Amino acid sequence: MPLALLALAVGAFGIGTTEFVMMGLLPDVADDLRISIPTAGHLVSAYALGVVIGAPLLAAVTARMSRRTVLIGLMALFVVGNALSAFAPGYESLLGARFLSGLPHGAFFGVGAVVATTMVAPERKARSVSLMFLGLTVANVVGVPVATLMGQHLGWRATFLAVSVIGVAAVASLALLIPHDHTHAPATGLRGELAALRSLPVWLALGTTVAGFGALFSAYSYIIPMLTDAAGYAGAGVTLLLALFGVGATAGNLLGGRLADHSLRGTLFGGLTSLAVVLALFPLLMHTEVTAALAVTLLGTAAFVTGSPLQLMVMEKAAAAPSLASSANQAAFNLANAGGAWIGGLALAAGLGTTSPALTGAALAVLGLAVAATAYAVDRRHQAVHEGRVVAAHVPEQAGALRR
């Protein structure tokens, strides 16, 4: 694997850290800015909104630019957003800075995934994407806990300054390690990128991402109540289990990349099936501390096995112009975050029990399987029609040859 993938992973590490660290810093930010914790929670939503808007918008705006230049520019914008967060004088300015920080997130992963696949042999594409995503999963194991501790002891502003430094390191890594010959400007331009988004298979692939990762966030958004109320964990034990989720996600990400290079469809279907089974077993596994720890680890593994296959599936459906579709898939991940949490919350509000969000997640995983199966059925039909046209076009030529 090329060393350039390390540069993409460093950027992913910084992005993953700044995305999730705000959850741990909410009390500190709320106390410092003299706002309520629910109001401070809007800072999480502002970042997610930036991702959803920025992913397709920035990919479209930069469609004619060198992908290497785009990646460096996106990470520079990330540095600016986090530096502004560190020096924000009040809540409104911090809200704007968090939105700005989220803008480059989706486009970076989308364009980065395209660049990663151009630097390796065809049989290693999924593995290259998983190595870029490795920075995101490692951020949950190392970056977020360390950054949270830093914020608690040195102040939350120090955390965003540290993330800015990581961003500067990523900019330098991208400039030094990303080769020019694999990152030329796409020949299709914006028109070609938009044309790719008019494809039904692309939208079905994006729908698979929303349903599949919506299944994860339906349960994970409420994992703390499950661990404390159902499994009996408290304090440091909960923190340890969240780290176990990160370990499981890292293992699943690497495993999914390796398996998808052998069978993209098999890995995707197997991962979604495993996710549905794990979530369906949550009500049973949450009765003891040991089985709850196993459940959290398996949840991370099963969910992130599908990460690289989902990204590669979208890129393959939009093979002629993959950058915009690949970035749109990152917006789909964030829609899955918001939508899954909302659906899981409905189950809780209906009084279905502490572990009910896991069951709604299992249903979403099954829905993801159905959408993926539909996508492959549409592909087969399109391929059959194309082959039929090719055969029909050759019949007159063959008949003419026989007459001659």
Which residue shows structure tokens 């995934």? Answer: 113
- Grouping H, G, I as helix, E, B as strand and the rest as coil, residue 185 is coil
How would residue 87 be classed by pLDDT, with cut points 50, 70 and 90?
very high
Q: What contacts 42, CB < 8 A, 6 or more positions away?
A: 95
For the stretch 199-256, pLDDT in tens is 788 889 899 999 998 999 888 878 878 888 888 777 667 777 778 888 999 999 999 9
Among residues 185, 208, 223, the one where a domain terminates is 185
194 part of a folded domain? no
Amino acid, res. 243? A
Query: Which uninterrupted H or E stretch holds 16?
Result: helix 4-33
Q: Tell whether 346 and 208 lie within a shared domain.
A: yes
In a domain, 191, yes or no: no
Q: 36 and 127 share a domain?
A: yes
Q: Which helix (H) or strand (E) holds 181?
A: none
Same domain, 48 and 146: yes
Predicted pLDDT at 181: 62
Q: Is the residue at 91 inside a domain?
A: yes
pLDDT of residue 259: 92
Question: Could you tell me if 115 and 20 lie in one domain?
Answer: yes
Please state, in angstroms and rounded to a whole number, the distance separating the CA atoms of residues 400 and 266: 44
In this structure, is residue 319 part of a structural domain?
yes
pLDDT digits (tens, 9 = 90+) for 92-121: 999 999 999 999 998 998 888 888 888 888
Residue where a domain terminates, one of 139, 163, 185: 185
Asked if residue 204 and residue 174 are part of one domain, the reply reads: no
**129 domain-assigned:** yes
Query: 156 and 258 in one domain?
Result: no
Do 244 and 311 lie in a common domain?
yes
Q: Quick one: 99 and 215 in the same domain? A: no
Residues 131 and 166 in one domain: yes
What is the C-alpha to C-alpha distance for residues 40 and 205, in angstroms, rounded to an integer? 34
Residues 41 and 187 sit within 8 Å (Cβ to Cβ): no
Going by pLDDT thresholds of 50, 70 and 90, the confidence category of residue 173 is very high
Tell me which H or E stretch contains 373.
helix 356-403
Q: Please tell me whether residues 141 and 258 are part of one structural domain.
A: no
Our count of domains for the chain comes to 2
Q: What is the mean pLDDT of the chain?
A: 85
| Residue that is last in its domain, among 120, 155, 185 | 185
Q: What ranges in 65-197 are assigned the alpha helix state H?
A: 67-86, 91-118, 125-138, 144-154, 156-177, 189-196
Please tell me whether residues 181 and 204 are part of one structural domain.
no
Residue 190 lies in a domain: no
Please give the pLDDT value at position 65.
Answer: 85
Q: Are residues 256 and 151 in the same domain?
A: no
Residue 82 burial (CB count, 10 A): 26
- Compute CA distances 200 → 29, 268, 364, whole Å: 44, 19, 21
Q: Domain containing 380: what range? A: 199-398
Distance of alpha carbon 319 from alpha carbon 299, whole angstroms: 31
Q: What is the CATH number of the domain that holds 63?
A: 1.20.1250.20
Question: pTM for the full model?
Answer: 0.80
Residue 170 belongs to a domain: yes
User: What is the model's pLDDT at position 198?
Assistant: 77
Q: Is residue 66 part of a domain?
A: yes
